[in-house]
Structure 1
Amino acid sequence: MAHTAGRTASRTRERLSALADFGTRPGGRRHPLVAAAMVLPLAVVLAIVFGAVQAVVTQASSVAGMLGY
């Protein structure tokens, strides 16, 4: 039984490593689209939680008004 726990932990580490390496280039850097796909969901949630959506809409409408749209 003790041997299976070690193998399970090893497999878990391998899977986590493979997941973390998703989208990485040989130099160790992630592709920009992969990085954006990782960050955007959190950014949207934070914008909704902290009310930044209303601030962005207000700023965008001000800029559009100055541009004459």
Structure 2
Amino acid sequence: MADPAGVTATRARGHRAAEVFGDQRSDRRHPLVAAAMALPLAALLAIVFGGWEAVVTQASSVAGMLGR
């Protein structure tokens, strides 16, 4: 099957951009850093929108599934 026109050129451009700007896919954040960034916002939204009880219920359910 022939390569559709432009696909190869687009891939080549993407590879060149990754070389110039750095490959963003390889820069991974540690899961604890991601949690530290997301949890304060999640807690704030839960408090503001009155869903704190639902968050606590879900967290305890997840903890139960994980065996803690």
With the length of structure 2 as denominator, give the TM-score of the two structures.
0.41
TM-score by length of 1: 0.41
